[in-house]
Structure formats: structure tokens, C-alpha cells
């Protein structure tokens, strides 16, 4: 699984961190998404796909 984020699209809503905190974090200064792990293990697929589906900015892309 390959995960990418578009920080230019991100609106700092934080849903991705709630859905998959092992993979996503937010910058302290402005809340913009930070990708912690671009190749998460298979057991995190469901959480990462959920994060992508709830992101209001469609800023998360998952390639399997
Ligand atoms: S859910 Fe989307 S908009 Fe919200 S912090 Fe994560 S990447 Fe940014």
C-alpha cells in the first residue's frame, strides 16, 4: 500500500488522524496533515482507506 497526501488541499480538519493515527499526524503550527508512514502495513489498510474516505478535502490517495 502506498499512501500520498496533498498538503495544498488539506484543510486541517483532523479526521485522518482520528481514523489512522499511526499513519497521519498534523503540524503543530497550522494543523496541516503530516504523513508518518507512506507504506503502512497491510493491517492498517482499512483504517487508511477510511481516513481517505472521510477526508473532506480529498487530500489522501491510497494505491494498493
Ligand atoms: S482529513 Fe484531510 S483535510 Fe483533514 S487533516 Fe487529514 S488530510 Fe487534511
What's the pLDDT tens digit per position in 27-61?
A: 999 999 999 999 999 999 999 999 999 999 999 99
Q: What is the pLDDT of residue 8?
A: 98
- From residue 4, alpha-carbon distances to 19, 26, 36 in Å are 16, 14, 10
19 lines ligand 1 (CB under 6 A): no
- Residue 64: is its pLDDT beyond 90? no
The CA 15 to ligand 1 mean position distance, Å, reads 6
Contact between residue 8 and residue 58 where contact means Cβ atoms under 8 Å apart:
no
Q: What CA–CA distance (Å, rounded) separates 10 from 41?
A: 24
Indicate the pTM of the whole model. Answer: 0.96
Q: Which of ligand 1's atoms lies nearest the C-alpha of 24?
A: 6
Range(s) of the domain holding residue 56: 2-63
Domain containing residue 38: CATH number: 3.30.70.20
Q: For the chain, what is the domain count?
A: 1
Q: 61: Cβ–Cβ under 8 A, 6 or more apart, which residues?
A: 3, 4, 5, 6, 52
- 25 band by pLDDT with thresholds 50, 70 and 90: very high
Amino acid at each position: 500500500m502506498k499512501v500520498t497526501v496533498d498538503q495544498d488541499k488539506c484543510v486541517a480538519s483532523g479526521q485522518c488522524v482520528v481514523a489512522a493515527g499511526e499513519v497521519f499526524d498534523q503540524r503543530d503550527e497550522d494543523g496541516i496533515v503530516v504523513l508518518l508512514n507512506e507504506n503502512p502495513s497491510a493491517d492498517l489498510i482499512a483504517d487508511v482507506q477510511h481516513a481517505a474516505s472521510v477526508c473532506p478535502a480529498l487530500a489522501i490517495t491510497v494505491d494498493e
